[in-house]
Amino acid sequence: MSVAETVFALLLRAYPASFRAAYAHEMSLVFRDMRRVHRGSDARFWAAIVWDVVRSAPAQRLQRSRELFSRNNQTGEGTIMKTMMAILAILIGAIEMVNALVEGRAAGMANLDGSAFLALTMVVVAGVLLLASGIALLRDWAAAVGLSQAAAVTCLAAFALVFRLNPTLSIFANILGIGFPIALLFFLRSNRGRGSRAPTMA
């Protein structure tokens, strides 16, 4: 490699690594050709080369920084949303489970008919599944998505049955039991194909 080519290779360091990986070889070939053509006018030639680098390299750096910022920002948002949904799943699962047991006990478990007892049992199971799915999402387990889907569907089925039978569960419990599972399913669907393993659906 000649001294001129070494200097040009150093100038190319002003460009981002990804840009150099894609275009450095072709730019070096063009440089050699231009060097042959402008052999007699070194000062003008180098002034044009340096000006081209000064004009284009910062723009390439800025574009690369924007791409990285955008990607990191999206990843950060996805992680924050996943953490929020996981914490909500744990809290709401625990609330629903305890609430169903307390309200069932207050109504008198012995006095409940078979369908009301089944509904309350399903709510407790849904609460346990929500709690487990929240832990799985936080820990980024491979089974987190399947578990979260199962928890959401079980929760919706349980509260649809509760709503139909109209037993003792409060309006607040019903809203949480129907609203959150729908939000969880939307979250899982909207995060298909993103980087994080847990919220990816097949």
Spatial CA neighbour of 155 closest among 116, 188, 126: 126
Any idea which residue has 């723009």 for tokens? Answer: 59
- The candidate with the shortest Cα–Cα distance to 169, out of 125, 122, 103, is 103
Mean pLDDT of 166-181: 71
Query: pTM for this structure?
Result: 0.55
Residue 112: is its pLDDT beyond 70?
Answer: no
Question: What pLDDT score does 40 carry?
Answer: 59
Q: What is the pLDDT of residue 76?
A: 56
Q: Contact at 8 Å (CB) between 93 and 127?
A: yes
Does the pLDDT at position 142 exceed 70? yes
> Which contacts of 49-53 are long-range, i.e. CB under 8 A and separated by 24 or more positions?
49/8, 49/11, 50/11, 53/11, 53/12, 53/14, 53/15
> Above 60 in pLDDT, residue 58?
yes
pLDDT band at 202 (very low <50, low <70, confident <90, very high): very low
Burial category of 189 from C-beta neighbours within 10 Å (exposed 0-12, middle 13-18, buried 19 and up): exposed
**Torsion sign (Cα): 94, 96, 102, 104:** negative
Instruction: Pick the range with the lowest mean pLDDT from 105-109, 122-126, 180-184.
Output: 105-109
DSSP 13: T
| DSSP at 197 | S
The 10s digit of each residue's pLDDT in 23-44 is 899 999 998 888 888 775 677 8
Cβ count within 10 A of residue 142: 11
- Count CB neighbours of 70 within 10 A: 10
